[in-house]
Amino acid sequence: MGTMSLRVNPEYERMLPKMSDEEFAELKASIQSEGQHYTIVVNEDFEILDGHHRYRACIELGIEPDFEVRKFEDKLLEKKFVIEANIRRRHLNNFQLVELAVPLMEIEKAIAKKRQSRGGKNGRNIQLGLAPEDAMPQTKGKTVDVIAKKVGLSPRTLERGKRILDDASEEDKQKLREGKVSISQVYREVIAQENAINAVDDPTLSAKPLPDPKIALNKARIEAILKNLHERQMFCPSCGNDMFECSKCHRTLQDLLK
């Protein structure tokens, strides 16, 4: 079957993390000198599921690509395969992982719904002796925890990344993809913007508390801790940000002291 029989599905192509010109040139040179190490995976309609870059390299080199047809029970499982293939194949930063993890979460929820529906039917069949007891679907825990573990993120980072996808600007999202800013940094900006909007809607939220000796003492203690942290150059080993931030409002100590 010729290369023209393979097709690119725009939806699946959009899920594909970007490859730099240098990375693509290296892939192309590798295929030209050593051949295609991994087959391109397609569905029964010959739409590419895994191997978009390999396909493009082969076309540009005039090489007939190797491919295999993979069958799936439904489109949900097919999309799940596409996302998981992208997660496995590429070296991605945390935000790029979030962009794959969020749709994967929705797919898992939809699959769980189908599983529960089957479970109700199986439950009746088990009671009637028409199905074995192990036919009941297994509960796999909270979706965000399961997906976070699968993609190599903490549940907190995944939830923050999801919030950024919903509320941050496209400019900030692109900076995250390029690794120019951290998820925690953009998340704080999103929360700060939301707090500012809420303060405008409800002026009482922005009212300053009355002076209190305990507050002043607490501030002085925090300043001493913060100074010590900066002097010791303590930072988060994951994202590189200076420690620490409030677990409730997600503002840094530096912000709180302004």
Comparison of pLDDT for 248 and 12, the residue scoring more: 12
Comparison of pLDDT for 206 and 106, the residue scoring more: 106
Q: Is the pLDDT of residue 175 over 70?
A: yes
Comparison of pLDDT for 112 and 34, the residue scoring more: 34
Tell me whether strands 67-69 and 40-42 are parallel, antiparallel or unpaired.
parallel
The residue among 13, 150, 15, 176 whose CA lies nearest residue 94 is: 176
Q: What is the mean pLDDT of residues 197-207?
A: 66
Q: Indicate the pTM of the whole model.
A: 0.64
The residue among 167, 148, 141 whose CA lies nearest residue 100 is: 148
Compute the distance between CA of residue 254 and CA of residue 245 in angstroms, rounded to an integer: 9
- The count of C-alpha atoms lying within 13 angstroms of the C-alpha of 112, restricted to the half-sphere facing its C-beta, is 15
**pLDDT bracket for residue 134 (50, 70, 90):** very low
In this prediction, residue 139 carries a pLDDT of 42
pLDDT tens, position by position, 182-195: 999 999 999 998 88
In this prediction, residue 143 carries a pLDDT of 85
pLDDT tens, position by position, 18-29: 788 999 999 999
The 10 Å Cβ neighbour count of residue 25 is: 12
**pLDDT bracket for residue 225 (50, 70, 90):** confident
Question: Is the separation of the CB atoms in 39 and 67 below 8 Å?
Answer: yes
Which residues, including other chains, have CB under 8 Å from residue 252's CB and lie 6 or more apart? 188, 241, 242, 244, 245, 246
The 10 Å Cβ neighbour count of residue 182 is: 20
Residue 131 token pair: 């199905």
pLDDT tens, position by position, 50-86: 999 999 999 999 999 999 999 999 999 999 999 999 8
What share of residues in the chain are helix, strand, coil (percent, to 5)? 60, 5, 30
Q: What is the mean pLDDT of residues 91-110?
A: 92
